[in-house]
Amino acid sequence: MSQDEARDYLEMSFRSISCFGNDGKLDLAEFDQILTIALRDGKLDDNEKRVLARIISLLQPGEAAELAPRVAQLKALYDI
């Protein structure tokens, strides 16, 4: 694992904590910011997939509905 790969999944984790901690919710713009970090190098490694799967598992029903199309797309493209 390169240093950039390690940094990316850690940055994703910290960003998600900040987003959830801000108002207790994750919106589409915040989710896309996290996804941008993950895809910065053009691929999703196992750690980034793990972090995204964990974030998805924490979504509340209202958030899940808003993010459902994006989550479905990620699952299909990257086997999350």
**pLDDT (tens digit per residue) in 3-23:** 666 689 999 999 998 888 878
Element at 12 (helix H, strand E): helix 3-23
**pLDDT (tens digit per residue) in 38-50:** 999 888 999 999 9
Going 62 to 68 to 74 to 75, the CA torsion angle's sign is positive
Which amino acid does the sequence have at 9? Answer: Y
The torsion angles phi and psi of 41, rounded to 5 degrees, stand at -95, 5
Rounded to a whole number of angstroms, the CA Rg of the chain reads 12
Q: How far apart are the C-alpha atoms of 77 and 22, rounded to whole Å?
A: 29
